[in-house]
Amino acid sequence: MPLKALALASLLLTLCMALPAIAGPLRAGYARATITPEQPGQFIAGYGANRIAEGVHDDLWVRAIALDDGETTLVIVACDLIGLFLPDTDEIAGRVTGVPRESIIITCTHVHSGPDTLGLWGPAPTVSGVDPAYMSMVKERAAGAIAEAVSALTPCRLRFARAVAPERTGHNSRERDLIDPEISIMQAVTLDGVPICTLVNYACHPEVLTTQSKLITSDFVHSLREQMETAGTGDVLFVNGALGGMVTPEVSENSFAETERVGRALGRAAAAAIEHAVEVAEADIRLARARFSLPMANPLLALAAQLGVIKRAPNADGTITTTVTAGRIGPAQFATMPGEPLPKVGLAVKGLMDAQFRFFFGLADDELGYLLHAEAVDNERYAYEQRMSINPNAVPLLMERLEAAIDATR
């Protein structure tokens, strides 16, 4: 190409990149699959080693919503699991043909009455509790749900709403009022107004039952979804938020009656908010993702990785590769972090957003443990969170990448 033409082509390319994306008609698709263990006897993730599942109270799910503006596809997946490491979410996304990895966000609801998918809750602290056959099933069904959601894309409108969590649902057991009480809601409906599915984003550990049950269950998340679905919202995807250090349900006892009370109260609040939703039929979907490495700064977890208890080998230089994502859809912005951010971290990320509706997803695409705000790093009150973090000083590094991603999607 002659030099002049090359310069012109380069100028045009720059202009194209600088032009704002044009809002296109939206499409949405939804699919779900059960990931309830087929065999009994799984190690339960949460509350110490060697807790073995004795039965099933309610099914565990992987649920996927696909969105498309004619140019960009975005798939948000919610799995009823304690967490998944990046190599596992990469493997799931890699099995889906025709959708780039950058377009797929795989989150975990962080249920504490499901199978061990990280390795920390096996028969003994030095032995992994992960069942490889169960992991294969999860990966196969998650990839299947993503592909099915994308193939189900149909013209839609999106409704956005927000609510405040009712009294006696979530609270912070470290610093009582330090929570993000916002419930952010995105509902996809057909052009005739029939719900396709509804995404609910709220921050709280699904651990009403603690050690009082050895049944497989998604805890209050099950009741939240059931409450909303009965009210006609279509299927619900629950995506957790800044639930770390230590946002947990406020209950009078660790029972299924309390999982129902908490879940239903949250579900009622979310369903009621949809009645006042802001609706869009056209919007451009903007996505920015960063993949980068952090120092692995926890000798105990490094040892667990070395022993093969957790399947998360550090890179040759001792770092861990992870990812964050930011996005915008019409009047809504979202951002993700790869672990369990403390509430101040989630609130700081939402503070970087200027959209009317703000979503913050924790446990997205990876599980680095707790992600601590600055004052928590040396505070004795957060000793447990410091121990259960791949790097207690990770947040400034994550924030830097996330802020750039948020800026790129304005």
Whose Cβ is closer to Zn ion: residue 267's or residue 362's?
362
End-to-end alpha carbon distance in the chain: 35
CB of 109 to Zn ion, least distance (A): 11
Whose Cβ is closer to Zn ion: residue 35's or residue 111's?
111
Instruction: Tell me the CA distances in angstroms from 158 to 61, 103, 136, 197, 336, one per residue in order.
Output: 23, 18, 33, 10, 20
CB of 219 to Zn ion, least distance (A): 12
Whose Cβ is closer to Zn ion: residue 7's or residue 384's?
384
CB of 85 to Zn ion, least distance (A): 15
Q: Under a CB-based contact definition with an 8 Å cutoff, are residues 333 and 406 in contact?
A: yes
Q: Under a CB-based contact definition with an 8 Å cutoff, are residues 284 and 327 in contact?
A: no
Closest residue by Cα to residue 42 from 81, 3, 77, 73: 81
| Residues sharing a CB contact under 8 Å with residue 263, sequence separation 6 or more, in sequence order | 219, 220, 221, 222, 223, 224, 225, 226, 227
Options 13-21, 183-191, 296-304, 335-343: segment touching Zn ion (CB under 5 A): 335-343
CB of 49 to Zn ion, least distance (A): 16
Options 270-278, 302-310, 340-348, 356-364: segment touching Zn ion (CB under 5 A): 340-348
CB of 386 to Zn ion, least distance (A): 14
Judged by CB under 5 A, the chain residues 147 through 186 that form the site for Zn ion are: none
Q: Under a CB-based contact definition with an 8 Å cutoff, are residues 371 and 340 in contact?
A: yes
Whose Cβ is closer to Zn ion: residue 96's or residue 203's?
203
Options 87-95, 115-123, 219-227, 332-340: segment touching Zn ion (CB under 5 A): 332-340
Whose Cβ is closer to Zn ion: residue 68's or residue 180's?
180
Whose Cβ is closer to Zn ion: residue 68's or residue 340's?
340
CB of 134 to Zn ion, least distance (A): 20
| Residues sharing a CB contact under 8 Å with residue 327, sequence separation 6 or more, in sequence order | 74, 285, 286, 287, 288, 333, 334, 335, 409
CB of 389 to Zn ion, least distance (A): 11
For 130, half-sphere exposure in the C-beta direction (CA atoms, 13 angstrom radius) is 21
Whose Cβ is closer to Zn ion: residue 120's or residue 274's?
120
* CB-closest chain residue to Zn ion: 340
Whose Cβ is closer to Zn ion: residue 119's or residue 330's?
119
Options 35-43, 101-109, 123-131, 337-345: segment touching Zn ion (CB under 5 A): 337-345
CB of 205 to Zn ion, least distance (A): 5
Options 34-42, 226-234, 276-284, 338-346: segment touching Zn ion (CB under 5 A): 338-346
Whose Cβ is closer to Zn ion: residue 60's or residue 149's?
60
Around Cβ 102, how many Cβ atoms within 10 Å? 16
CB of 234 to Zn ion, least distance (A): 28
Site size toward Zn ion, by CB under 5 A: 1
Options 16-24, 116-124, 339-347, 374-382: segment touching Zn ion (CB under 5 A): 339-347
Whose Cβ is closer to Zn ion: residue 33's or residue 106's?
106
Give the Cα-Cα-Cα angle 304, 310, 311 (nearest 5 degrees).
Answer: 125
Give me the sign of the Cα torsion angle 139, 208, 363, 309: negative
CB of 340 to Zn ion, least distance (A): 5
Residues at the site binding Zn ion, with contacts judged by CB under 5 A? 340
